[in-house]
Structure 1
């Protein structure tokens, strides 16, 4: 799940999803909604760039 991977990345960086959304200029709860809807490619790329990971690593299924 994308949201879970992003939460883990936030934990590793001592931040949280709300701070990440603010930093990236996303609306409140944008990332949390990805639990039930698909993110845009652009927004997913912004998150990947922020954490210096690939989009594939955010999308992979374990």
Structure 2
């Protein structure tokens, strides 16, 4: 669910998940890995801040 919401936000903003990972200083495929595991709060906060949403947005 988190990955789906991030993917939707990325698409709306005209960027790829790879670009987002690189911009935020994450390793390659870090965000895509969240399909199978949960992100750390710190990483999820970075993504939320990038898109101007709350962490709760991803958890709804």
> Is the TM value for this pair above 0.5?
yes
Number of the residue aligned with 1:11: 11
Q: Which structure 2 residue ranges, 5 or more long, are not aligned?
A: none
Q: How many residues align?
A: 60
Deviations 1:18-55 (A, max 9, x none): 00000000000000000000100000000000000000
Q: TM-score, normalised by structure 2?
A: 0.98
Say what the alpha-carbon RMSD is for the aligned residues.
0.4
Q: Alignment partner of 2:37: what SS?
A: coil
- The list of structure 1 runs, each at least 4 consecutive aligned residues, that deviate by more than 4 angstroms after superposition, is none
Q: TM-score, normalised by structure 1?
A: 0.95
Number of the residue aligned with 1:30: 30
Q: Which structure 1 residue ranges, 5 or more long, are not aligned?
A: none
